[in-house]
Amino acid sequence: MPTRHVELVPSPPQAPGGDFLHLALTGGHLTFWDGTRPPDGTTLFRVPRRHLALTTADLDRLTGTSLRGGLADLVAGCLTVLAAETGRPGSPVAGRLARSAADLLAILALDLAGPDEPGGALLPRIRAFIEDHLTDPALGPESIARAHHISVRYLHKLFQSDGTTVGRWIRRRRLDSCRHELASRTVTVAAVAHRWGFTSPSHFSRTFRDAYGMSPREWRVRAR
């Protein structure tokens, strides 16, 4: 099934493409579309950026973010019905549904953007989240971005502005925790690696040596 396009708010045809935001509905799930080729069967809803009353920075944060739960499910349900109605020629309710969906979307976008929180305030909160989830092997850019209602692209930009990457930061904090535990507890190297999110002891040993110039066992001997 090809991609369908639905306009939520009528706009002048001459308006530049950058003046619009697109929301992708695929299988009942919503995503602030990032411009990549959508899967077959996707419905793209177009709404003027001005209708959402968000700054460019806020919209950049949301681009690529998948929306699930709470108000997002309500918006998805409304858009699902709208998509069905627009497929019916002369539908008497499609126009009203489109306007209602656009208003709900504006509320959802404001809720996701939250209070004014520049990157300088958001980054420490993300780092604290990483610290609390270092032992989770699934910790990564996708799960971090999802937990903070931002896109993965925006997450990478935050860490890039700080001179590092998400992956490097996670790896460094995990290695610091491993180093401390190796020096203070009598546990196997494999157990330490597993506890701090390394899925392979051999990968942990290589990563540790690359960072500190010695193996975990050599570090333990020196630290003691």
**Model confidence pLDDT, tens digit, residues 64-123:** 777 777 778 888 888 888 888 877 777 777 888 888 888 888 777 767 765 445 445 678
Q: Which residue has the tokens 């935050």?
A: 158
* CATH code: domain of residue 208: 1.10.10.60
Same domain, yes or no, for 24 and 66?
yes
* 53 touches 106 (CB < 8 A): yes
Q: Which residue has the tokens 């998400």?
A: 166
Same domain, yes or no, for 138 and 155?
yes
Same domain, yes or no, for 10 and 85?
yes
The pLDDT of residue 214: 92
> If you average pLDDT over every residue of the chain, what do you get?
81
pTM: 0.52
Same domain, yes or no, for 67 and 26?
yes
pLDDT range class, residue 6, cuts 50, 70, 90: confident
Same domain, yes or no, for 63 and 109?
yes
Same domain, yes or no, for 89 and 76?
yes
Same domain, yes or no, for 103 and 124?
no
CA dist., res. 139 & res. 114, Å (int): 23
Same domain, yes or no, for 63 and 43?
yes
* 200 touches 161 (CB < 8 A): no
pLDDT at 181 over 50: yes
Nearest to 124 by CA among 159, 99, 82: 159
Tally of domains within the chain = 3
Same domain, yes or no, for 66 and 16?
yes
Same domain, yes or no, for 45 and 83?
yes
Nearest to 141 by CA among 123, 118, 165, 162: 165
* 188 touches 150 (CB < 8 A): no
Which range marks the domain in which residue 67 is found? 4-113
Same domain, yes or no, for 133 and 105?
no
Q: Specify the range with the lowest mean pLDDT, choosing from 4-18, 75-89, 96-110, 170-184.
A: 4-18
Same domain, yes or no, for 123 and 172?
no
Task: Give the contacts of 97 (CB within 8 A, at least 6 positions apart).
Answer: 78, 81, 82, 85
